[in-house]
Amino acid sequence: MDCLEPVLELDGERLDAGAAAARGLVLTESSEGGVRRVALENRSGATVRPAELGWRKTGPGDFDAPDLKLYVESWQMASPCGVRAWNDEPFDYSPDYLPNCVSTPGDFHPGERGFFLSDNMCCLRRPDGAMRLFGFTSGRDRFGHFAGKLGPGGVEEFTALCACDGAALPPGGRIVTEPLLVADGADTEELFAAYADRWAADSGARRRFDPPVGWCSWYCCFGRVTLADCRETADWLAARRDDPDFGRVRLVQLDAGYCDRYGDWLDWNAKFPGGAEAFAREIRARGLVPGLWLAPFWADADSRLFAEHPDWLVHGPDGAPAPCPGFGTPERPRYALDATNPAVQAHLESLFRTLRSLGIDYAKLDFCMSECAIADARWHDPSATRAQALRRGFEAIRRGFGDDGFLLACTTPFAPVVGIADAMRSSTDITPYWDRPGQHAEAPNVPNVCRNVVNHAYLNGRLWINDPDTLMVRDSDTELTPDETELWARAVSLAGGSLLLSDRLPALPPDRLALARGVLAAHGAVRDLRPLDRWERAFPERWLATRGGQPVRARLDFAGHRVAPVFSGGEFPPSDEA
């Protein structure tokens, strides 16, 4: 777009370069290697606290056209992503969860047709198929986001901004936006892949591990899980180590349920005698890999961590620890550690070094967006942004866990952890039911998961390994019909990335074991998932992948809750063409 001009948001005002200069603040724009940046230099003689820095549309653009469509991208795994048109309302969010779902919840306009809010990247598409992608290729220091409005004639409002979060900028100080790539194309997947490759290169993405294949305790045991449950599954898998399919299942990942107070991650409850060391020893004795779930930035109000180190927590404007929005209860609030504090970094490093020494080789890091979701946070380091706080915490975790330990990020803002996380959950949680009346676009259910899994496929193998969440095939303790179960199994098979089962495996009947076996057998052979109807519907139904270099096509019929009878190397029938 040829009409983007630098802009600074300060003290509730948006200032162009001239208005900023009148306050002693110098905005300059540069372009190199296909990306643009805006720099802010403080010559005012006083400390300033900028809110946002970037670009805004100031007039008609060369890409404006009637009936534009826009792809909006997620902040974290649960945030809905997909296509919107000028007469669509934005994806709806639960008001309680909104601060955890977008980087700038104060900018969200619920119910306003044509309004859009997108994190990291967005892409415009004209009716003739031409596309223009805007994408930040780093998020180490600031969250990059896009907001504006589509109208019947084109883009009426557009901003591309990096969050400065009111971090103190002293006299003589200088900050810059993250790099902004602007790229045109005619093939969606090629354009998205080229963007992801540039993002990976600019951010030093890790590409060191084969996708994990394992078992997760959560969806069959939930918080009731015991050491006996893990032992039962490990015994079943160990007995099948020579099986060509189930023998590939090597990871046993214990999810929530072992710790009664979040924050005290080494204090295991009575269901797990011997704690982390005993759990790891049991799993390793069966030739398997122990994995563990944690929410490393959380501390419950009744935790020992909270009692001993209230100064380690993110504080609010009143100087007191600020509860995490959307979590905990008034009687038992939940807080977030302030990872800009060197003492917190030392704690995280020590915790994960200890876990590794006890035998844990895989860690699932959950609810990490709480580090970034507290409004008007007051950090130990007043010059830090939310993105820097999150990254410093992850860097400490990586130092402790070691370069060869596997880190899965979950409900974690994407951009700051590229180059640290080995894998990233690509969708909200799967559920043993199809959906629930009145659910919002970020809520756990099968359609929402499938929407994000397929739309995020372009990130898989580029920024990290995508984790589509677990495969469930059981016929008890579930509301899913056989058709719905098969649909989810097909989605997991096509998605690539991690593959974790989450059923009580010894109890599965033969037909359900066969369904799981089919997904395991295909794992690693199916590649390059792409939605063929991304621009036609928010929930893509026609998916293309490759198997052994040959095209594999599938149609997931969300209206009918089933897999349509097309899954082959051939073309879709004419009525099913995307």
pLDDT of residue 574: 39
Mean pLDDT of the chain: 95
Shortest CA distance to 374 belongs to which of 322, 321, 426?
322
Looking up tokens 């023998």, which residue turns up? 247
Shortest CA distance to 311 belongs to which of 262, 253, 380?
380
Summarize the confidence of residues 444-457 as an average pLDDT. 97
Q: Tens digits of per-residue pLDDT, 38-84? A: 999 999 999 999 999 999 999 888 899 999 999 999 999 999 999 99
Is 399 exposed, middle or buried (CB count within 10 Å of its CB: 0-12, 13-18, 19+)? Answer: middle
Percent of the chain with pLDDT over 70: 97
pLDDT of residue 575: 37
Q: Tens digits of per-residue pLDDT, 250-305? A: 999 999 999 999 999 999 999 999 999 999 999 999 999 999 999 999 999 999 99
Q: Tens digits of per-residue pLDDT, 486-495? A: 999 999 999 9
> For residue 105, which phi and psi values (nearest 5 degrees)?
-60, -25
Q: Which residues, in sequence order, are bridge partners of residue 9?
A: 14, 52
**Has residue 416 got a pLDDT over 90?**
yes
- Better-predicted residue by pLDDT, 569 or 230: 230
Which part of the chain has CATH 3.20.20.70? 225-425
Summarize the confidence of residues 114-125 as an average pLDDT. 98
Reported as a pLDDT band with limits 50, 70 and 90, residue 34 is confident
**Has residue 578 got a pLDDT over 90?**
no
pTM of the entire predicted model: 0.97
pLDDT of residue 576: 39
Looking up tokens 């390793």, which residue turns up? 284
Position 438, amino acid: G
- Under CATH, which architecture does the 225-425 domain have? Alpha-Beta Barrel (3.20)
pLDDT of residue 420: 98
What's the CA gap between 346 and 352, in Å, rounded?
10
Percent of the chain with pLDDT over 90: 92
Cα separation values, 443 from 21, 254, 370, 480, Å: 45, 23, 17, 17
Shortest CA distance to 292 belongs to which of 224, 364, 239?
364
What's the CA gap between 116 and 122, in Å, rounded?
10
pLDDT of residue 227: 98
Q: Tens digits of per-residue pLDDT, 182-235? A: 999 999 999 999 999 999 999 999 987 789 999 999 999 999 999 999 999 999
